[in-house]
Chain A
Amino acid sequence: MIEEAKISGYQLGMLIVGFVFGSSVILNPAAVAYQDAWFAQLLAWLGGFVLLGLYVAIYLLSPEQNLIETLREGFGKYLGSLIGLFYIWYFIHLASLVFRDLGEYMMTVTYTETPLVFLIISFSLPIAYLVKSGIEAIGRTAEITIFVIPISVLITVVLLIPNYDFNSLQPFLEEGLTPVLEGAFNNLSFPFGETVIFLMLFPALNEKDKLIKASSLGLFVAGVLLITITLRDIMVLGSNIFRRAIFPAHLSTTLLPAEIDQLIAINWLLGSGAKITVCIYATVKGLAELFKLNSYKLLALPTVVLAVGLSLWSFDDLIGLLRWSSEIYPYYALPFQIVIPVLLLIILLFKRYLR
């Protein structure tokens, strides 16, 4: 498939920041660990590096190939295509989950009387336009927008200093390691393990030597941001409210002095937007690869429509979504994020070195 447009290392890093930051800041997946959530997140972050290393290794073993091509190479034409189809399903499902997250968040917090479908559709149109414009536009849009996220996080962290209560972080490991590991496991699958999707984007990188640097720096920044936000939320809200709040990050920003929380919400918009864009791009790119189409751009709008529909049909309400994403999602994502990539890596290693 012809891929002319390229993205730079900086753009890839920014996309990873936006993707990982994404919706995981709206819903904190590590909250099950109460005041130790930051520790769980730290563990998940380290695990995220391992997983990203796994994905990068897969890419380096089969350079210039996207995930679908690599799967075909590893598992053979038919099984590989089948697994590729599953991955495409996973990507579009992920997009629909983020759509729903964001829609529910917006509906709960600001637009209480606006129908969910309207929110999601209006949110999906710029994304369709962006994906249709191609990977170069995606990278460059990330380049000029994502930098807002660290800045706004910094602003909230600084402005909330009067509300900090360091005692909320104690006692450390009150219930032992189990809740921490549970939180870490949840957090590893959402969002760190989801970076498997970048196997679809790595081939578009034009500065090959910057792959490892860009992706690890992106993950580093995103992890720092997430842990900072978790620490901030725990210290501002206290561990109990932190665990019980549906949107802890939003709750703590409502305490900001000038009540600028709705402006701060822009960074969740950006993060989720980056995440959905990457998901939709991976889906259309994968579909085009799978069915040997010349261009993925035509598929952008239909895929977005599909993801929007899926996001509306999948769950009845916010509670269903929360339950599913905390109890089922980690196991649902396990094969996509860990099992298949590990298998793939082993097969590729065998093919490269033992033959």
Chain B
Amino acid sequence: MFRKLAGIYNYLKHKSQDYFQSEQPQEEESEQEKVPRDIQKVKQKLAETFADCSDFVLRELKIGDDSQFKVILAYFEGLTDHEIINNGILDPLMIESKKIGIDRRHEGELIQKIKEEIINVGEVGEADTFTRTVEELLAGGTVLYIDGQGTALKFDTTAWEERGVEEPQTESIVRGPREGFVESLSTNISLLRRRIKNANLKFKVLNLGVQTNTDVAIGYLAGIVNEDVLKMVEERVQRIKIDAVLESGYIEEFIEDSPFSIFPTVGSSERPDKVAGKLLEGRVAILCEGTPFVLTVPYLFIEAFQSSEDYYNRPYVATIGRSLRFLALIITAALPAFYVAVLTFHQNILPFELLLNITAAVEGIPFSPFFETLVLGTAFELLREAGVRMPKPIGQAVSIVGALILGEAAVEAGIASHPIVIVTAVTAITSFILSPLLEPLIFIRLFLLVAANTLGFMGMGLVIITIFVHLVNLKSFGVPYLAPFSPLSGMDLEDTLVRFPLWAMLTRPRILAWREEEGEKYRLDANLIKKEE
């Protein structure tokens, strides 16, 4: 069924692609307009383009020995740095140009002269087309139009308000760096570059979003990354044609392998150290302007169990953490279903005394265990949603009211039984351990619950097998989702349930280079040297 839906989805996707492709050439033709030579025309066009843009600044200047050249300086207030414009552009233009002595003789080489001898701004470039200059203005640049030249000069004066680097709100850890990504793409890139001081760390910047023109960077470590994966990522990202890219989630939805699967096949993280680690393993990162969440692909199932802290702590601690997370997965997915199955079909599995206690607790409750579990589970999800949406101080109150008062009152009133409250609470607590799988787990819990109520353990077994089959079918950018468990990849098991000591991890994840099976190429040289010593 999924495949069929995916077929329809792909069809629609291609359809929309064709639509955009047929549209684009015409747009481009009209846009490829030269910068007018006549400065009055430029002024008129700018006024047209930026009509009703109150933050747009347009300054007419006269430069040269006898003020014989008319120029227009344009920029956006708030996107640019006043200091740079004043000291680096305005000041030299109005004063230096007179000192150097530019006159009519220099008209041909005016642009060169301004660029090389007058302006003292770091990044200077030329723009031929009017559209290019508009883009530059919108990105925080300053553009200088010169009368009679047909080419404009652009200066990088970008400077806008941005949040400082703070500790990330999600993925908190005890030991490890406290830095998190911010909304600015260049800051994020610098955060990664600071961790990997290597010329092989590449970032390809693309422009996405027909209306928003958002900058998106594809980061990878050349030489380590799997070329096939990189090519796939580039193709898929370039294929995206939408109006707006406001968050990396927009990109995620377009590049997923199985858009109808409940499981995520694209990872996201707010932690630079984590993303740097993934880059070093050979993954590709996709950074998006305007969001601290960086996507990493390929994303495998096992990554939900890996925390960056695992590598900062000693291997024993990390291994215990991993095992606990696997246990949490089992509990949070299956505990409510297990409870319902036991009460409905398999009472004799419980020790006799426990059975007596549970029977006593359940007695007098008018609802079936299934219904109770479903209602309490839904109530919990509502509380969670309320906790997220509420302003933070109120959120705490909501959780106290929800957890303590409502639960206790429901039991007292005979609406729910004690065991079910325990089951729901344990399920809820454990579900937060695996935050990347939070959403799929809600579905899995529900499927298992229905199956357990219908066929007990056998039903649960059937649903689990079905989920396994689905997981086995999944791929993330060509890499099997369940790797390294299936297909079994012996060397990669070093970083799964058990985290080996760092000096014992001799190879990079071979699963990420699944198609080329050259063991040698992916050996981690630094570790080898350490071992030989």
Contacts and interface: CB of A to CB of B under 8 A. Distances in A.
Interface of A: 8, 10-11, 106, 110-111, 114, 119, 122-123, 125-126, 129-130, 133, 136-137, 140-141, 143-145, 258-260, 262-263, 265-266, 269-270, 273
B468 A145 contact: yes
B198 interface: no
Given A10-B488, A111-B345, A260-B349, A141 B455 contact: no
Contact of A137 (B349, B455, B469): B469
B180 to A, nearest CB: 35
20 contacts: A8-B487, A8-B488, A10-B488, A110-B346, A123-B458, A123-B462, A126-B466, A137-B473, A140-B482, A140-B487, A141-B465, A144-B468, A144-B482, A258-B351, A259-B349, A260-B349, A262-B345, A263-B457, A265-B457, A269-B462
Nearest to B463: A126
Contacts of A122: 454-455, 458-459, 462
B458 A143 contact: no
B44 interface: no
What is the interface of chain A mostly: helix, strand, loop, or mixed? helix
Nearest to B1: A129
B440 interface: no
Cβ-closest 3 pairs across A and B: A140-B486, A140-B472, A126-B466
Contacts of A143: 485-488
Interface in B246-302: none
B349 A263 contact: yes
Interface string B457-498: 111011001101100110000001010011110000000000
Nearest to A134: B473
Contacts of A273: 465
Contact of A126 (B346, B454, B469, B473): B469
B461 A269 contact: yes
B472 A144 contact: yes
Given A262-B456, A266-B461, 9 more contacts: A110-B345, A119-B455, A123-B458, A125-B462, A136-B472, A137-B469, A143-B488, A262-B346, A263-B349
B62 to A, nearest CB: 72
Among B346, B472, B473, the most chain A Cβ lie within 10 Å of the Cβ of B472
Nearest to A131: B469
A354 B487 CA distance: 42
A288 B135 CA distance: 58
Contacts of A136: 472
B473 A269 contact: no
B170 interface: no
Contacts of B485: 143-144
A44 to B, nearest CB: 29
B348 interface: yes
A141 B457 contact: no
B473 A133 contact: yes
A35 to B, nearest CB: 30
A111 B344 CA distance: 11
Contacts of A114: 455
B339 to A, nearest CB: 14
Contacts of B462: 122-123, 125-126, 269
A218 to B, nearest CB: 15
A265 B348 CA distance: 14
A262 B349 contact: yes
Contacts of B468: 141, 144-145
Contacts of B461: 266, 269-270
Contacts of A262: 345-346, 349, 456-457
A111 B466 CA distance: 21
B469 A133 contact: yes
Interface in B334-349: 345-346, 348-349
Contacts of B482: 140, 144
Interface residues of B, number: 25
A129 B457 CA distance: 20
A266 B457 contact: yes
Contacts of B487: 8, 11, 140, 143
Given A141-B465, A258-B351, A265 B472 contact: no
Contacts, number: 84
Nearest to B348: A259
Contacts of B455: 111, 114, 119, 122
A121 to B, nearest CB: 11
A276 B469 CA distance: 15
B458 A144 contact: no
A126 B465 contact: yes
Given A126-B466, A129-B469, A106 B458 contact: yes
B472 A133 contact: yes
Nearest to A10: B488
A111 B472 contact: no
Nearest to B480: A140
Contacts of A126: 462, 465-466, 469
B472 A137 contact: yes
A129 B466 contact: yes
Contacts of B472: 133, 136-137, 140-141, 144
Contact of B469 (A110, A130, A263, A266): A130
Contact of B456 (A10, A11, A110, A137): A110
B173 to A, nearest CB: 30
A192 B262 CA distance: 40
A133 B1 CA distance: 11
A299 to B, nearest CB: 15
Nearest to A260: B349
A141 B349 contact: no
Contacts of B345: 110-111, 262
Interface centre among B456, B469, B473 (most CB of A within 10 A): B469
Contacts of A259: 348-349
Nearest to B342: A262
Contacts of A144: 468, 472, 482, 485-486
A111 B458 contact: yes
Interface in B342-389: 345-346, 348-349, 351
Contacts of A263: 349, 457
Contacts of B459: 122
B344 to A, nearest CB: 11
Contacts of B454: 122
Contacts of B486: 140-141, 143-144
Given A140-B480, A143-B486, A144-B482, A269 B458 contact: yes
A148 to B, nearest CB: 10
Nearest to B457: A262
Interface string B420-463: 00000000000000000000000000000000001111110110
A258 B488 contact: no
Contacts of A137: 469, 472-473
A145 B465 contact: yes
B4 to A, nearest CB: 11
Contacts of B458: 106, 110-111, 119, 122-123, 265, 269
Interface string B232-248: 00000000000000000
A207 to B, nearest CB: 11
A12 B456 CA distance: 30
B354 to A, nearest CB: 11
Contacts of B473: 133, 137
A106 B459 CA distance: 11
A258 B349 contact: yes
Interface in B297-351: 345-346, 348-349, 351
A137 B345 CA distance: 31
A263 B458 CA distance: 9
